[in-house]
């Protein structure tokens, strides 16, 4: 009889242990499932971010190419402008007059050498003095 009661108690204890293991296993399975879902969401976010970075990189490369083209066009225009400055006879006169002002020529000398009206020579002198003051 004692043997039967010990056997019964042992069976109950084994069943309780199995129940606890089952409950504990379910908790770990739920936690693992939660971590897997969290990892999948993180991977989706990472994939989205990678796509956005790739788009931004492509956009920046496009902007860079356009910037290089604009800078090149700007240089060409500046060179063209410089070339035209020396082709225009009036521009040559004014360039010479400005150079004379920078070298310290007086107004009468500028009028005589460059054949400029007095008002224009005075304006050049005035602009040069303002530029020097700044």
If the chain, 134 residues long, is cut into consecutive pieces of 10 residues, what is the mean pLDDT of each piece?
77 81 85 92 96 96 96 92 70 83 90 89 86 66
pLDDT in tens, 99-115: 998 898 898 998 998 88
Instruction: Say whether pTM exceeds 0.85.
Output: no
Alpha carbon distance 107, 125 (integer Å): 8
pLDDT in tens, 40-55: 999 999 999 999 999 9
């Amino acid at each position: 009889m004692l043997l039967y009661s010990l056997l019964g108690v042992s069976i109950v204890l084994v069943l309780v242990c199995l129940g606890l293991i089952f409950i504990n296993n379910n908790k770990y399975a739920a936690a693992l499932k939660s971590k897997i879902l969290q990892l999948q969401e993180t991977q989706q976010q990472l994939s989205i971010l990678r796509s956005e970075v790739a788009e931004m990189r492509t956009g920046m490369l496009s902007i860079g190419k356009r910037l290089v083209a604009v800078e090149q066009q700007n240089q060409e225009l500046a060179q063209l402008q410089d070339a035209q400055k020396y082709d225009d006879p009036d521009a040559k006169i004014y360039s010479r007059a400005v150079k004379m002002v920078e070298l310290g020529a007086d107004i009468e000398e500028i009028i005589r050498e460059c054949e400029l009206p007095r008002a224009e020579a005075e304006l050049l002198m005035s602009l040069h003095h303002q530029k020097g003051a700044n």
